[in-house]
A and B are shown apart, each in its own frame.
Chain A
């Protein structure tokens, strides 16, 4: 802020704006992304002595592989990463739209995956394959929903701070998994991949089911939020709880119901990770993606289709930067730095979309 002298107007002041057309807003966002990616390029140039173009080429190869030679392994890996991150972000979106800051996707997904794992180990040999899959799907959704419900009930009844509550639930989930891994791993701290109850492979591709499930979920969440009565109730509660009460919405019920759905969808992500990808579990199965998903959901303005784009971008940066670090023998945490920089820039650029800066005298208006 400008220094205010007592007898003078400040040099500039900030006003809210709502006149920015959607394409202008997107121009700002895309420009920011381009700038931040160049920042990243400069950073890697400083660290690796590779030129910008070389860096981007390594990133491109790291994500898409050598498609011209017919190898699609890298591409499928990329799509799989998108599917999982997108699934978590989709799961968080109903809760966020209600202004319920669910920071517990990590734990909810872990517990969902935990439920899948138990079913695979304990029931894998006794149930027939289709029944087993159904049991896995239902239990992991229920487990995720339960993990989401605990903070939601306390929020609804006593207005307990949900951000901190859900955060703590993550670590309880982590410790439960750690306990279970020691128990089942027989001291080796690793559960060997289980052959029973794996999600089916379609056309020899092990990731395709995950991708299809998440594609369906994307449409489901979009329709649910935009066209259903529940979606309407969620947005009213998010905008103003008093208004919601005034028009006869049972706020407590909406909070609890929405968090059950949010948790259940996180449980689906856990199932996709355990039954669909790893066929095993450890404390790092979700690997911090629950937190990245929070940022994705918010950056995607709670719109599932924009979130597809955002996850695509973030997964590209993560895989690509990982490849750059790999090629240049740097630590793989380089990817986290890159993702961090880009997200911070995009978060910052929202300011230009929502506010404009007016200079003194009101004549020179700067379009931000």
Chain B
């Protein structure tokens, strides 16, 4: 049962890991992208549309590589488009980041639910609903030796490739942010864009790249949710508030992708703990579901009280940069 609990926590944690890694990269450039929940919906629905069209076109004779690659690319492209809208408005047009982000979220969730609810009608397809079980089966191909290694094998090796990709991306992001020149430049843009600008860093380019890369990563979280967690079945609003939880996780992880790996599994466990504690009524289970948010608030308060410099959000987070401002 413990093995099952851990596996479940990891499965629930992976979308959060994608979302928060993306948001960390974006926030490092000084942009608080509250559009992440919407972008994750768009990532999910773009992947679903890609898979839906491919399943319809291939009609049974599906190629495994294509079945994975098409939804993957669709999800990335869809979320990058959303990221582009956000960064055009906030970087180039210097619109208010909170308002733009929330509008992106409204728009993105609307897109997700709209296409999720109307895709069958719009394509006048024969399928009754969106159930991409075939594509999902290709997504959840497991490592062949997972079953033969007992509990350890199940915890470490029984996941789909998107889980490992999430961890690889987070480790890579951590490396790039902390050990490379690009990462140093990006962090300086987020801390003080005027200084970065004076040092010859192209602030606009960094902000655009960070936001779009972050969006692409976050979108994959939506894809993982549909394909692995929900077995390819799209139902409206099923993704829920995981996007906001991903933003909470950014604080929990103190703006460090490597902490986010651990944090996402803790969040996954917290989300799921209510199902594994014996003797809880339905109503008490609901109270347990607030745990991740309470923990986030506690972390937020403690970090702001301790005022340790390496645990703070980027200094110019949420503030648009205009070169000619004094």
Which residues of A are interface residues toward B (Cβ below 8 A)? 1, 14-16, 47, 101, 103, 154, 158-161, 163-165, 167-172, 175-176, 178-180, 182-183, 187, 288, 291-292, 294-295, 298-299, 329-341, 343-344, 347-348, 350-351, 354-355
Contacts and interface: CB of A to CB of B under 8 A. Distances in A.
Of A168, A172, A335, A338, chain B has the most CB atoms within 10 Å of the CB of A168
A1 B287 CA distance: 49
B189 interface: no
A164 B113 contact: no
A168 B300 contact: yes
Nearest to A284: B237
B94 A348 contact: no
Interface string B234-262: 00100001001001100100000000000
A178 B286 contact: yes
Given A171-B290, A333-B113, A351-B95, A292 B284 contact: no
18 contacts: A47-B122, A154-B301, A158-B307, A161-B304, A165-B300, A168-B300, A171-B290, A172-B290, A180-B283, A182-B283, A330-B118, A331-B118, A336-B113, A336-B114, A344-B100, A344-B104, A347-B93, A348-B93
B245 to A, nearest CB: 8
B230 to A, nearest CB: 18
A168 B114 contact: no
Interface residues of B, number: 61
Contacts of A348: 88-89, 93, 95
Nearest to B107: A340
A158 B305 contact: yes
Interface in B294-323: 294, 296-297, 300-301, 304-305, 307, 313, 318, 322
A167 B244 contact: yes
Contacts of B304: 154, 158-161
B113 to A, nearest CB: 3
Given A335-B110, A340-B110, A347-B96, 6 more contacts: A164-B296, A175-B287, A291-B102, A331-B114, A334-B110, A351-B95
Contacts of A159: 304
Given A160-B300, A175-B289, A337 B102 contact: no
Contact of A355 (B94, B113, B290): B94
B247 to A, nearest CB: 7
A163 B103 contact: no
A167 B99 CA distance: 14
A135 B244 CA distance: 34
Interface in B143-163: none
Given A154-B304, A163-B318, A341-B107, A103 B98 contact: yes
A329 B121 CA distance: 9
Contact of A292 (B34, B106, B294): B106
Contacts of A170: 244
A330 B114 contact: yes
Q: Which 9 A-B residue pairs are closest in the complex by CB-CB distance?
A: A340-B107, A336-B110, A331-B117, A333-B113, A182-B283, A175-B290, A351-B93, A178-B286, A160-B304
Contacts of B89: 344, 347-348
B105 A291 contact: yes
Given A161-B300, A168-B296, A329-B121, A16 B324 contact: yes
A306 B95 CA distance: 19
A298 B204 contact: no
Given A179-B286, A331-B117, A347-B103, A171 B293 contact: yes
Contacts of B177: none
B96 A179 contact: no
Of A172, A294, A340, A354, chain B has the most CB atoms within 10 Å of the CB of A340
B116 interface: yes
B241 A171 contact: yes
B111 A337 contact: yes
Given A164-B251, A295-B102, A351-B94, A333 B236 contact: yes
B16 interface: no
B3 interface: no
A316 B138 CA distance: 45
A344 B103 contact: yes
Given A333-B117, A347-B95, A348-B95, A178 B289 contact: yes
Contacts of A333: 109-114, 116-117, 236
Contacts of B305: 158
Contacts of A15: 324
Interface string B112-139: 1111111001100000000000000000
B104 A340 contact: yes
A176 B289 CA distance: 10
Given A158-B301, A160-B300, A167-B244, A343 B93 contact: no
B11 to A, nearest CB: 21
Contacts of A103: 34, 98, 102
Contact of B106 (A14, A165, A336): A336
Given A336-B106, A347-B95, A168 B248 contact: yes
B32 interface: yes
Given A160-B300, A167-B247, A351-B93, A1 B204 contact: yes
A312 B241 CA distance: 28
B178 interface: no
B85 interface: yes
A176 B109 contact: no
A285 B92 CA distance: 37
A294 B297 CA distance: 21
B278 interface: no
B110 to A, nearest CB: 3
Contacts of A165: 297, 300
Given A333-B109, A344-B104, A183 B283 contact: yes
A167 to B, nearest CB: 6
A335 B297 CA distance: 33
Interface string B213-228: 0000000000000000
A298 B100 CA distance: 10
A294 B248 CA distance: 19
Contacts of A338: 110
A114 to B, nearest CB: 13
Nearest to A349: B93
Contacts of B34: 103, 163
